[in-house]
Structure 1
Amino acid sequence: MFEDKANSCSFPDELVGINFAFACFDAIIAILAFTQLARIHSRNTQLGWTRQKVFHTLIGFTNIGYLIYFVLSLVAACRGWLCWPYSCGFVAMAFPGILLFATFLLLLSFWVDLCHQADDEEEEDDEQGFLEALIQNSLNRPRSSLADGRRVWYPFRLIHVGSRQKTVFLVTVLLFLLMMTFSVLIWIGMEENLIDSSTMSRVYVDLFATAILLLGGALACYGLLLCRKMRNVRSERASSEIWKVAGLAIVSVVSFTSSAFVAIFTDIPMLFHWHGLHIDGVYTSLLLILYYFIGSSMPSAFVLWVMRELPPMSIANTQEDSMTITFIADNSAHRTQNWTTPSSSPNQASFV
């Protein structure tokens, strides 16, 4: 796909156009994500970080990262930045990919919680499954007063999260550390030594593509398992949730499989090594569409569409939503649920 070309410092016209199109599309997704995040927050300013807010924030920053990468790729090609074909371009390419991975790994953790808690509930009660109880409780949950003067808001209190969500955070941190380690090795490989920068980039790309492929397979398995459990619930809401889960599972498998195969069998993820290379514009553009648009933009947009419902408007002295990261010092006797609890309000997506 790449051939040597002397004195080349810019992309072909086809890649300039497609990079600009990708940048515009990612900008639109980021604007939609943060706009929706502001609307969700404005409907109840007393809530902490709900599940919807976390997903919208991650998707917004993911697409901002890709926007920066595409814009800087064009600028670097025109200005001839010496750092860009090495660690700078590598970090700009890898950073948004990790955020996208964290977004869907977080989605997987919620599905695992639902499936496992459903199994536990079925063992305790054979007459009414967990999902049916979940839907009924979310539809009929009473709202009590918040008039408790002993609750004080602290913006940096400890965040109450579940064990699987802690695992997601830990995996994301490890991925960032791995990326920074490879970026240092790539930087060292700029000099004449035993380390080859392109080989280091290829190793990281292959490892990350394998992780993406495994994530897509896990989402497919747990999505299928969750859909089978929800089929036993006779409810219109359960039917709509089945389509949401099935759609997310299908989109995840298609998107992550295509992007992983492109990453493993082509040099598309390492396109920041533009210097001294000739690029087949049409062929490379098609692979870029498959890798970036199908592999990242499409799943991000689909998550925004699935979680488009707004939470109910808040009124004075009403109870906090059940899925919040608790930033409060609670001395009351009531047990506050956090944002990792699988149940949710009826106007929010229960299973995503």
Structure 2
Amino acid sequence: MAAAALLSAPAPVPLPAAFAGWWEHVNGSPAWQDGIFWALAALYGLIAASSFIQVARIQHRVPEYGWTTQKVFQFLNFLVNGARCSIFAFRRQVQLVNPQIFQHVILDLPGLAFFTTYAMLALFWAEISYQARGLDTDGLRSGFYTINGVVYAMQVLVWVLLWLNPNSSMLVLSKLFIAGLSFSAALGFLLYGGRLFLMLKRFPIESKGRQQKLSEVGRVAAICSCCFLARCVMMCFAAFNKDADLDVLDHPILNFIYYLLVEIVPSALVLYILRRIPSKLKLARYHPLSSG
């Protein structure tokens, strides 16, 4: 009976011919390709501009604070999104770069910088958790630098291997490395964001700013975790499916969906949630004692 049921089950319904034709038409059209890449460049440019404005606002409001975590985070967002904007604005020129390994470096490097930028948030949350428990935080910052150094060294090694042996296996390895890195970043946000969230929930309800900070940490941790998990899944899919390759010109729709989901929308949401800047310092006025 089971075998008969399986044999009689209807076959999967293919995509409508009109939709399949539209997909192929858009992917093969230079006009559509340029339009989608320019749209991505414009979106990245808007985020880069908003980050730069935030850096300028913080510097104008509290110049005496120096390079705080918030200012560095906003500045790195400006650099990452500015780089993505330039790459998509000159996507056809990037495709002509030789040797081909430099194309991979140009396309992959902003993704590594994106990882470093948002790993700073996990570091900041970890430092808050350690300070609240009276623990030393020096090891966290040195660990952050060490992890980033190892990640960049491993990526350089992957590039060298890809340069020396440019075959499909090396391309799969390169994409799986990004997928593994993204999965680790998602775990980091779940761990340190969740730990800080639970710590804030134990604070007294009347604590100043407790509810606002609780909501901020919870939303940012959820957004970043989903963002890096989506990047991991899509990189794994692209590694074993040639039709999902993001490094070619004739897959503009996939490029738009991928970068919109894993970088543009998460960056815009996080920057909106973290839009508050420090209050201007107010020095206490001097009140002379009355002679009476």
TM-score, length-normalised on structure 1? 0.64
Structure 2 unaligned runs (5+)? Answer: 1-27, 286-292
**In the alignment, is residue 102 of structure 1 matched against residue 77 of structure 2?**
no
Residue 168 of structure 1 deviates from its aligned partner by 1.9
What residue identity is the alignment partner of 1:244? Answer: E
Q: 1:32 aligns with which of 22, 31, 50?
A: 50
Residue 112 of structure 1 deviates from its aligned partner by 2.0
Name the CA shift for 1:211/1:76 in 2 (closer, same or farther; >3 Å). closer
Residue 172 of structure 1 deviates from its aligned partner by 2.2
Count residues in correspondence: 252
Give per-residue Cα distances to partners, 1:269-307, cap 9 Å, x unaligned: 853345xxxx4x5xx61x334421111122222232222
Residue 317 of structure 1 deviates from its aligned partner by 11
Residue 239 of structure 1 deviates from its aligned partner by 0.5
Aligned to 2:269: 302
**In the alignment, is residue 257 of structure 1 matched against residue 241 of structure 2?**
no
Aligned to 1:177: 153
Cα distance in 2 between the residues matched to 1:201 and 1:66: 21
Cα distance in 1 between the residues matched to 2:53 and 2:209: 26
Aligned to 2:197: 227
Give per-residue Cα distances to partners, 1:158-182, cap 9 Å, x unaligned: xxx8321222222223333333333
Cα distance in 2 between the residues matched to 1:315 and 1:20: 45
Cα distance in 1 between the residues matched to 2:102 and 2:262: 22
Cα distance in 2 between the residues matched to 1:166 and 1:226: 20
Name the CA shift for 1:175/1:270 in 2 (closer, same or farther; >3 Å). farther
Q: 1:89 aligns with which of 103, 127, 142?
A: 103
CA contact (8 A) 2:200 2:214 kept: yes
CA contact (8 A) 2:61 2:279 kept: yes
Name the CA shift for 1:110/1:65 in 2 (closer, same or farther; >3 Å). same
Residue 88 of structure 1 deviates from its aligned partner by 1.7
Q: 1:114 aligns with which of 128, 135, 141?
A: 128
What residue identity is the alignment partner of 1:242? Answer: L
CA contact (8 A) 2:97 2:103 kept: no
What residue identity is the alignment partner of 1:41? Answer: Q
Name the CA shift for 1:299/1:268 in 2 (closer, same or farther; >3 Å). farther
CA contact (8 A) 1:255 1:295 kept: yes
Residue 34 of structure 1 deviates from its aligned partner by 1.0
Cα distance in 2 between the residues matched to 1:48 and 1:268: 47
Give per-residue Cα distances to partners, 1:165-208, cap 9 Å, x unaligned: 222222223333333333333333xxxxxx23443232122112
CA contact (8 A) 1:201 1:270 kept: no
Residue 49 of structure 1 deviates from its aligned partner by 0.8
Residue 190 of structure 2 aligns to a residue whose secondary structure is helix
Cα distance in 2 between the residues matched to 1:119 and 1:269: 46
Name the CA shift for 1:24/1:36 in 2 (closer, same or farther; >3 Å). same
Residue 46 of structure 1 aligns to a residue whose secondary structure is helix
What residue identity is the alignment partner of 2:115? Answer: F
Cα distance in 1 between the residues matched to 2:44 and 2:66: 27
Cα distance in 2 between the residues matched to 1:54 and 1:82: 31
Percent identical pairs in the alignment equals 23
Give per-residue Cα distances to partners, 1:55-109, cap 9 Å, x unaligned: 00111111112112212323345xxx2527x212111111111111112212112
Cα distance in 1 between the residues matched to 2:141 and 2:244: 28
What residue identity is the alignment partner of 1:201? Answer: L
CA contact (8 A) 2:237 2:244 kept: no
CA contact (8 A) 2:175 2:235 kept: yes
CA contact (8 A) 2:69 2:124 kept: no
Residue 251 of structure 1 deviates from its aligned partner by 0.6
- Cα RMSD between the aligned structures? 2.7
TM-score, length-normalised on structure 2? 0.76
Cα distance in 1 between the residues matched to 2:255 and 2:148: 25
What residue identity is the alignment partner of 1:293? Answer: L
Q: Which has the higher relative contact order, 1 or 2, with Cα contacts under 8 A spaced 6 or more apart? A: 1
Aligned to 1:73: 91
Bigger share in helix: 2
Residue 244 of structure 1 deviates from its aligned partner by 0.6
Q: Where do 4+ consecutive residues of structure 1 move more than 6 Å?
A: 315-318
Q: 1:247 aligns with which of 195, 212, 219?
A: 219
What residue identity is the alignment partner of 2:98? Answer: C
Give per-residue Cα distances to partners, 1:4-27, cap 9 Å, x unaligned: xxxxxx864433222111111111
